[in-house]
Amino acid sequence: MNIARLLGRTAATYPDQPALAHGKNIVASYQEFDDQAAGLAGALRGKLGLKAGDRVALIMKNHPEYWIALFAVWRAGLVAVPVNAKLHINEFRYILEDSGSRLAFATPELATDLTPLTGELPDLDAVISIYDDGFQALKKEPAIECQDASGDDLAWLFYTSGTTGKPKGAMLSHRNLLAATLSYFADVTSHDPGDCMIHAAPQTHGSGLYGLPLIAKGGIQVTPQSGGFDPAETLDLIAHYPNCCFFFAPTMVHRLISSPAFEKADTRNLKIIVYGGGPMYEADIRRAITALGPRFAQIYGQGESPMTITGLTLAMIRDENHPRRSQLLASVGVERTDVEVRVVDENDTPLPTGDIGEIVVRGDVVMQGYWKNPEATKEALRGGWLHTGDMGCFDADGFLTLKDRSKDLIISGGTNIYPREIEEALLTHPDVAEISVVGRPHADWGEEVIAFIVPRRGTQPTIDELDRHCTAQIARFKRPKEYIFIDELPKNNYGKVLKTELRARFTSPSG
């Protein structure tokens, strides 16, 4: 049941098929990919002394070596801890400490910042840069066979922020990952050898999980030279590689078709763009279909149930004659093949069609729970259903529409940002008396972070001061894009800040 067996099987079937590419350069065949992962796995269990179940953090910008490290970790019977490369050093420290990671593989610029943590964190033995000669040597260590793993063994420990702002480790097993992979074939698309996944979105998140179906079928994992999303570079890669596939946040779709490079781009090689991770408004998906054709599928999921809660298939999006096409495009689709989805009230009683309640899901893809957090696990998985914290309703045809995010989550550029974390950081500024952070609609990014601040009496903090204070504690991309100073925050009779009133001040998207 070890998910790493996907690679071994494909390497045996298509040994000479290109597997990994950096930009337009093929850097490994499937046999080479498998051999290097096997050698690195041997080093992990041998020279580096890790034991079954130990955690290994992957803190990288997108790079082909990510795939070798990931499959080496799984082959060795270890647990991968994928980490967003854009986080702040304090956030890296927390995740490494909470997960008890023994080792971290990192891209060079991150390895420099992370290495001092080996002296601070008792479990962290080493930080290894993937560009170092030492890393290349580790891949040449004696190989080991793929270690046995039960379906319930932990494979993927993904940290996703909660309402407290502290990240929680969603525990995904080998069975969870295999279920998500099979669901892709049932509900998204099929693949042939030579199809490629271009990882313009972070490999440590959804794009990386969407690479697994390609590996199962002999596809190519293409990492842009930039290590991320650049519209012109992405369009150039589409023109170069056949049958291109993507996982994009809606904002990335918008940026791609709005790029000056798009006018002369050749997109005939595009096979499918799977979009998710934020709101895709009906007008935006219609514009995207006009620009690129009906080569889209939509997914609604979260770190606790990756890729698989509901979705719109290629066929649904292509169906221009659907009698309720507008409602279909504005929805997040129907439940995926391998899950059950309900909308429930505050007592977890299923609600009738059309009524708004919390979305809950169960199935083989749903996480086992939160790492070292039994209370949060009990709350999230009560009754055997994952409680998403999202609000929505089903229509008579089984299409789910999201209505609100009960956790006040802000999604900017496909990245989750939790207001509480920002509020806690800024409340430590001596001149800030009260604060409330909300999301404001943004034409390009989906939402942007806005902070409403009540200054302490007799003070007036400057924007530069607040920015510096914020970025000293949390990742720069989370900082507010605007600070609005007010005399008092709107509150109800119980003293709770009325964020709905703050959001109501924004009448139209900025940007």
| Residues 318, 454 within the same domain | no
Q: Mean per-residue pLDDT for 482-498?
A: 80
| 124 and 34 in a common domain | yes
Task: Note the pLDDT of residue 499.
Answer: 86
| In a shared domain, residues 330 and 425 | no
Does pLDDT of 493 surpass 80? no
At a CB cut-off of 8 Å and minimum separation 6, what does 76 contact?
41, 42, 44, 45, 50, 144, 147
Q: Which two tokens stand for residue 351?
A: 């609600």
Question: What average pLDDT does the chain have?
Answer: 93
Query: What pLDDT sits at residue 496?
Result: 66
236 and 351 both lie in a single domain? yes
Q: Which residues have a Cβ under 8 Å from the Cβ of 39 and sit 6 or more positions away?
A: 72, 138, 139, 140, 141, 142, 143
User: How do residues 141-190 score in pLDDT, each as one tens digit?
Assistant: 999 999 999 999 999 999 986 444 578 999 999 999 999 999 999 999 99
Host domain of residue 294? 5-391
Three-state secondary structure readout of 435-452? EEEEEEEECCCEEEEEEE
Alpha carbon of residue 214 to chain centroid: 18
Task: For residues 373 and 414, state if they share a domain.
Answer: no
Same domain (yes/no): 387, 438: no
pLDDT per position as a tens digit, 190-203: 999 999 999 999 99
Residue 412, pLDDT > 70, answer yes
In this structure, the answer to whether residues 206 and 310 fall within a common structural domain is: yes
Does the residue 398 lie in any domain?
A: no
Among 333, 357, 391, identify where a domain stops: 391
pLDDT of residue 125 exceeding 70, the answer is yes
Do 40 and 151 belong together in one domain?
A: yes
pTM (predicted TM-score): 0.86
For residue 458, give the CATH number of its domain: 3.30.300.30
Q: pLDDT band at residue 497, thresholds of 50, 70 and 90?
A: confident
Number of domain units in the chain: 2
Asked whether residue 299 falls in the same domain as residue 231, the answer is yes
- Above 70 in pLDDT, residue 405? no
Question: Which of 362, 391, 420 is at the close of a domain?
Answer: 391
**Per-residue pLDDT, 163:** 42
Give the per-residue pLDDT at 38: 99
Highest mean pLDDT among 155-169, 215-229, 411-425 belongs to 215-229
Whole-angstrom distance, CA of residue 390 vs CA of residue 491: 23
For 72-123, how does the pLDDT look when each residue is reduced to its tens digit (9 = 90+)?
Answer: 999 999 999 999 998 999 999 999 999 999 999 999 999 999 999 999 999 9
Range list of β-strands (E), 443-488: 446-455, 482-485
CA angle 11, 13, 15 (to 5 degrees): 45
Q: Are residues 343 and 424 in the same domain?
A: no
**Predicted confidence (pLDDT) per residue in 245-303, tens digit:** 999 988 899 889 989 999 999 999 999 999 998 778 787 899 999 999 999 999 999 99
- Helix (H/G/I), strand (E/B), else coil: 161: strand
Q: Are strands 410-412 and 415-417 parallel, antiparallel or unpaired?
A: antiparallel
What is the reported pLDDT for 160? 85
- Same-domain pairing of 75 and 215: yes
Q: Give yes or no: residues 416 and 385 share one domain.
A: no
